[in-house]
Amino acid sequence: KPGLRRWISGKPGNYYPISSEDYDLAFSVEVDSPAAMVDYARHPFHMDAAALMGPIIEDVLVVDFEFTAVQQSAVAYKAPREGDDNVAIAHVTCLAFKDDASEEDIEEFTLALDRFPRQKPFIRRWILGKPGPYYGSATDRFDLVFIAEVDSIEAMEEYARHPYHTEVVGPMLGPIMKDVLVVDYAYSRVIESAVDYAQIIPYR
């Protein structure tokens, strides 16, 4: 699928206090536009893969969101410590807001949330956006989604207990949150496309 810009995949794990344990495999796909997502969904290889998945899949959740910026760092702040697997962690968080939450409170929270990478230098890569109906089976349960990628299991532990997380963003979210889903998964490589080819890049 030449329209596929970036791909990571791996096995979910309990890397965050409220990480879901309901899924066995997770992947993140980035494409350049809504039109590219349409092409992704109807690509013949996609149809072939769906036929293979059908007999073995018990449950699936698809969340699509549009993002306009990528915050990333070239510096490795937290390499794996002794005894940890040599993997990075993708922290996928989907949020739904209460019906009576004000637009001002949601906007203030979103701006504070999007400052995470500047407050937590061990976040390697960050994207955030609002979900949309870009894929046929995408859920409409959530209002905001972000993916934070960190260098190691230890970095994810520090992410969870960072003061900006516990003292700033957490208290802002509590009064306006209706639902949350967190899926964390470990991965060790990134597949990226420059235009019409794909290359596999070791994470480190």
User: pLDDT at position 89, please?
Assistant: 97
Confidence of residue 32 (pLDDT cuts 50, 70, 90): confident
Q: Predicted confidence band at 76 (pLDDT cuts at 50, 70, 90)? A: confident
DSSP letter for each residue of 32-57:
SSHHHHHHHHH-HHHHHHHHHHTTT-
Reported as a pLDDT band with limits 50, 70 and 90, residue 175 is: very high
Range of the domain at 96: 4-202
Provide the domain count of the chain.
1
pTM of the predicted protein model: 0.91
Place of tokens 């420059």: 194
User: Is pLDDT above 60 for 78?
Assistant: yes
Tracing tokens 């995470």 back to the chain, one arrives at 116
Q: Could you tell me the CATH number of the domain that includes residue 181?
A: 3.30.70.100
Q: What is the pLDDT of residues 89-146, one digit of tens each?
A: 999 999 999 999 999 999 999 999 999 998 888 899 999 999 988 887 889 999 999 9
Distance CA 2, CA 9 (A): 18
Beta bridge partners of residue 144, listed in sequence order? 95
Predicted pLDDT at 43: 86
